């Protein structure tokens, strides 16, 4: 009897995990189910995750980065957990899940490496900052790069090429990388 109970509880736990994945998802939105929507002045998706944690009725959240037209970063709190939909504008998650940025090789999400710039330029928006990474790879002087997302400081995306590697700082505005 006890063995059957344990097997039943384990099966139920696996079913819940299969239905409701843990963690946040950068590059995904969770449309529908909104009961509150507010601007996030500092543009940090962690603020949205925290708001959900502190609201009893919140089950999930979606954060959208500032728009290139000057619109603010927005946080939507949700009364239900919807299915994630790919969307480069957004980060979403379920209650209890903080913001976990993807780790893709040498790309550092939500990291700014301020200073050490020898050149900067406007670039096309890209959710991975690839045009900036490619520009750094093409120059022998470049040791590191930082891509600033549009809507953080200006309407355009900007690339900063660095002649020296500076310490990483957590900042939602940016994606960085270091050439090894």
> 82: exposed, middle or buried (C-beta count within 10 Å: 0-12, 13-18, 19+)?
middle
| The pLDDT of residue 165 is above 90 | yes
The mean pLDDT of 24-33, rounded to a whole number, is 86
pTM higher than the cut 0.75: no
In tens, the pLDDT along 60-71 reads 999 999 987 778
When pLDDT is cut at 50, 70 and 90, the band that residue 103 belongs to is: low
| Burial call 22-32: b when 16+ CB within 10 Å, e when fewer | eebbbbbbbee
When pLDDT is cut at 50, 70 and 90, the band that residue 89 belongs to is: confident
Contact 147, 157 (CB under 8 A): yes
Domains of the chain, first to last: 23-94 (3.50.4.10), 103-178 (3.50.4.10)
Q: What is the pLDDT of residue 104?
A: 54
In tens, the pLDDT along 34-52 reads 999 999 988 888 899 999 9
């Amino acid at each position: 009897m006890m063995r059957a109970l344990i097997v039943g509880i384990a099966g139920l736990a696996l079913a819940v995990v299969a239905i409701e994945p843990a963690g946040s998802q950068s590059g995904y939105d969770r449309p529908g189910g909104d009961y509150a929507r507010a601007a996030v002045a500092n543009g940090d998706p962690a603020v949205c995750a925290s708001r959900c944690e502190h609201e009893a009725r919140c089950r999930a959240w979606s954060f959208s980065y500032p728009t290139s037209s000057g619109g603010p970063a927005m946080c939507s709190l949700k009364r239900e957990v919807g299915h994630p939909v790919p969307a480069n504008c957004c980060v979403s998650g379920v209650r209890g899940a903080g913001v976990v940025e993807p780790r893709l090789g040498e790309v550092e999400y939500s990291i700014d490496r301020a200073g050490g710039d020898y050149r900067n330029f406007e670039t096309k928006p890209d959710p991975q900052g690839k045009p900036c990474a490619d520009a750094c790879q093409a120059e022998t002087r470049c040791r590191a790069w930082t891509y600033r997302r549009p809507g953080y400081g200006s309407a355009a995306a900007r690339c900063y090429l660095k002649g020296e590697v500076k310490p990483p700082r957590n900042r939602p505005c940016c994606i960085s990388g270091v050439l090894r």
